[in-house]
Every structure is written in structure tokens, then in C-alpha cells.
A = this chain, B = another copy of it.
Amino acid sequence: MEIYQLRTFVTVAQQGHLTQAAEILHLSQPAVTAQIKALEEEAGISLFERTSAGVTLTEAGKLLLPEAERILAGSREMLNKARSLKGQPSGKLRIGTILTPELLRLGPLLARMRERFPLVQLTTMQGISGIILNEVRKKELDAAFFIGRNPYQTVHVQPLTELPYVVAAPPAWRAELEGVDWRTLGRQPWVGASQFSSLSKLHAEAWREHNIAPKKVHEVDQEQSMLVCVEAGLGLCMLRKEVAEAAEREGRLWVWGDAEISMPLSFIYPGEREDEPLLGLLREVLAEIWPQPAV
């Protein structure tokens, strides 16, 4: 059974005449006869009743016609899809991710890229800002999400949004710390952030600004790990406002004062790839998903 036979089957069924079908198909009538015959032979059942006035579908033919039409439609679809894929940009992009996929709006990004450029294959690698940044510099990654201020000229930055951070403390410390100043906070233990994370830079900046140098307990590398450390009463730390407030509502920690420090969330890529088409497309889509406020 071949598609050209099915096409003939359907055309004959529509026309009711082998001769007319042959004309439409740009075939001779004997060719049409032969195709239908071959189909009937393979199916083991007669598809048409022949009369001197033309042909009529048998009951079996009526039942099989929709199947044939489905197959034909499928083949048309496949060819259309193939042709629509022709000339589409294609390639692979490795992207570093940090924090949570939701925060990065990764789902919409991947979905829209897939929809618009189905041949572009995106792979993600989860990590923490410092490490990811290094991978981009080493070109192990083509681009990445990044949090914090970029220290390298060679790495270009496309800003996405600002993330506010607050100081989080164990709930039990509230009585002691409510209303105190940074100097007092400096005498408390702080939960240390991995040296590779942007959080550690945030801490360093904040401490320098307020001229304190607290004792660090442990050193963890994930937002959620910081959270559980604070909850367990190990020390203070800076957490994303959203996370900290959600945890505070559950009574897991207490947010100190209303000091807010913000860090930029951005998209980074090697400067020399500025004009690479694939990366350009990705950045366009990213810009749609993270619209920038008018300056």
C-alpha cells in the first residue's frame, strides 16, 4: 500500500469514475484501474462496485475511505511541516540558570523559543552565579542568567529586572533585634554564602557599607539552604524579599527592619558573540518575556 494508491482511491471515490479520476490525477485510465486493483488485492477486499456508468464505493470502501483520507492528510501535514522548517535558524545554545526556573521565567522562554524557532535546541545548566559566570567566560556556556554586578568587560549584559533583598533572622531573635542598628547586627553570627554566589558579594557589600565584619557560620550555596539555616537559628542572612516574606508568613523567620538592597538579574553572554544570529534571536525573545520599563 502506497500513498499514491491512496490518493487515487480517494479521488476515484470523489469522482465516481475511474476515467475522471485519471484525468484529475494526470494518469491514464488503465493506470487508475491498476492502482485500485492493487489496493483491493492487498486489502483483500473490494472497494468499488463497477458498473458501466462508473464506480460506487462498496460498504467496505465507505468504511476505509476515511482512513485513507486521514493518511493522506497526515502526509500533507508532514510535507508542510518539513517545508516550513526549511530555512529556519537552527543550532544549539547552552544556557546557565540560577535560582529557580519560575523566577527566570524559563518555561515561557523555552516554550516561545520552541514555538518560534523549533530547530534551535536549548540546554540549560543549573548552577550559582559565580560558577555560571565563569563558564560563560570559558565558553562552556553560550549565555546565562546572572545575578549581581558584572566585573568583566568581555561579558556583555542584558538587564532583566531588579531583585530586592532583605535581612532575615530566626523568629526567636525578634525580641532582641527589633529596632537595633546595623552595628548590633554585626555582632550576631551570619550564615555564610558560598564565595561563588552573588549572595556573598551582596553580603560583603552590605557589611562594608555599614562597616561591620560579622562571624560566619557554615557556608552554603543555595537560597533554600540559607533559609533553613536561618530557620534553624544559626544566624542572620540576606534573602530575596519574596522568599523571606513568604517564609515570614509561615512563621519560619523574621524580617529585620525594612532595609532593602537590590541586585540586578540579568542575562549575560560573551561580548564577542554580540552579533551571533542564534544568540540574537534568544535575546529578542528574552526581551519580550522581560519587557524593560521605558527609560
Q: Are A71 and B82 closer than 8 Å at their CB atoms? A: no
A133 nearest CB across to chain B (Å): 28
Q: Are A79 and B1 closer than 8 Å at their CB atoms? A: yes
User: Which of A42, A60, A64, A83 has the most chain B CB atoms inside 10 A of its CB?
Assistant: A60
Q: Are A1 and B75 closer than 8 Å at their CB atoms? A: yes
Question: How far apart are the CA atoms of A82 and B63 in the complex, in Å?
Answer: 9
A42 nearest CB across to chain B (Å): 7
Across the two chains, which residue of chain B brings its CB closest to A121? B59
Question: How far apart are the CA atoms of A70 and B67 in the complex, in Å?
Answer: 12
Residues of the B chain whose Cβ atoms lie less than 8 Å from the Cβ of A59: 90, 118-121
With beta carbons under 8 angstroms apart, the residue of B44, B74, B83, B120 that contacts A44 is B83
Q: Are A67 and B74 closer than 8 Å at their CB atoms? A: yes
Question: How far apart are the CA atoms of A2 and B35 in the complex, in Å?
Answer: 14
Q: Are B78 and A45 closer than 8 Å at their CB atoms? A: no
With beta carbons under 8 angstroms apart, the residue of B3, B67, B70, B82 that contacts A45 is B82
Per-position 1/0 for A220-257, Cβ under 8 A of B = 00000000000000000000000000000000000000
With beta carbons under 8 angstroms apart, the residue of B78, B86, B118, B121 that contacts A67 is B78
Query: Does A287 interact with chain B (Cβ within 8 Å)?
Result: no
- The 3 A-B pairs at the shortest CB distance, nearest first, are namely A43-B82, A67-B78, A59-B119
